[in-house]
């Protein structure tokens, strides 16, 4: 029987600390959330391995190191309101809930959204809300967000989400341009302007941002 607590500690020490994740609050949160609860049953024993965990439908859970580096780039504070775009079964949402004030998870896949809602409720994460809506920035949002993190590779900068950023807000996304390798980008809003910069290479399955006939309004 797998000792998941030991696997979690080993993941933090051997995969995260050694690849540049230094944020203590983030490390503590990742060291607390049971990653095995967010993968298919047949993947539980390898939930902490250094690999993308397939969730079905071409979607996947990022490697621990890539996820931690992207989350650290967002510099999430305990007062922040976070929009988690494309969280799949909700692992990232659970982590963010421990270091932010509120998390809205925006998931386009109805099955994954339902699963995320069930898992998060079962594990007792109370400051989260899972919404089934398109991942293309077309959903009308109730207010602005201090952090937006997009959980999948995009083919262009996520300009449709810039209007949902609060002043000083940060948006983190992986962008792949002209067939090149995906690169982590961070966009920061200052007044009416949004400035972006590139940081590091990382990998995730593509995120489907195709328009849908209906979007959720909340």
Q: Which of 79, 74, 70, 99 is nearest to 169 (CA)?
A: 74
Paired residues of 59 in beta bridges:
56
Q: What residues have CB less than 8 Å from 163, skipping those under 6 apart?
A: none
pTM given for the model: 0.93
Question: What pLDDT does 213 receive?
Answer: 36
Give CA separation, 167 vs 102, 151, 173, in Å: 17, 22, 18
Question: What pLDDT does 75 receive?
Answer: 97
Query: Regarding beta strands 193-201 and 128-132, do their DSSP bridges make them parallel or antiparallel, or are they unpaired?
Result: unpaired
Gap between the Cα atoms of 99 and 192, Å rounded: 27
Cβ count near 150 (within 10 Å): 26
Question: What pLDDT does 158 receive?
Answer: 93
The domains of the chain, with CATH numbers, are: 4-201 (3.40.50.150)
Tokens for 50?
A: 């250094």
Question: What pLDDT does 7 receive?
Answer: 97
Question: What pLDDT does 208 receive?
Answer: 65
Paired residues of 154 in beta bridges:
175
Query: Which positions of the chain have pLDDT values less than 70?
Result: 208-218
DSSP category for residue 135? S
Tokens for 12?
A: 């933090």
Paired residues of 81 in beta bridges:
102
DSSP category for residue 57? T
pLDDT digits (tens, 9 = 90+) for 26-82: 999 999 999 999 999 999 999 999 999 999 888 999 999 999 999 999 999 999 999
């Amino acid at each position: 029987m797998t000792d998941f607590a030991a696997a979690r500690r080993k993941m933090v020490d051997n995969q995260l600390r050694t690849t540049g994740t230094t944020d203590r609050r983030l490390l503590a949160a990742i060291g607390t959330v049971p990653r095995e609860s967010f993968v298919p049953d047949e993947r539980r024993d390898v939930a902490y391995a250094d690999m993308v965990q397939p969730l079905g439908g071409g979607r996947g859970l990022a490697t621990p190191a890539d996820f931690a580096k992207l989350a650290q780039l967002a510099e999430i504070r305990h007062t922040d309101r976070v929009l988690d775009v494309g969280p799949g079964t909700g692992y990232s949402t659970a982590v963010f809930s421990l270091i932010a004030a509120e998390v809205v998870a925006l998931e386009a896949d109805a099955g994954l959204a339902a699963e995320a809602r069930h898992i998060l409720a079962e594990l007792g994460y109370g400051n989260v809300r899972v919404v089934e809506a398109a991942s293309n920035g077309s959903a009308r949002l109730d207010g602005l967000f201090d952090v937006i993190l997009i959980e999948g590779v995009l083919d262009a900068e996520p300009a449709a989400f810039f209007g949902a950023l609060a002043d000083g807000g940060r948006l983190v996304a992986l962008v792949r341009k002209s067939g090149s390798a995906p690169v982590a980008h961070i966009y920061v809003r200052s007044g009416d302007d949004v400035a972006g910069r590139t940081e590091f290479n990382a990998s995730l399955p593509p995120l489907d941002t195709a328009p849908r006939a209906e979007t959720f309004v909340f």
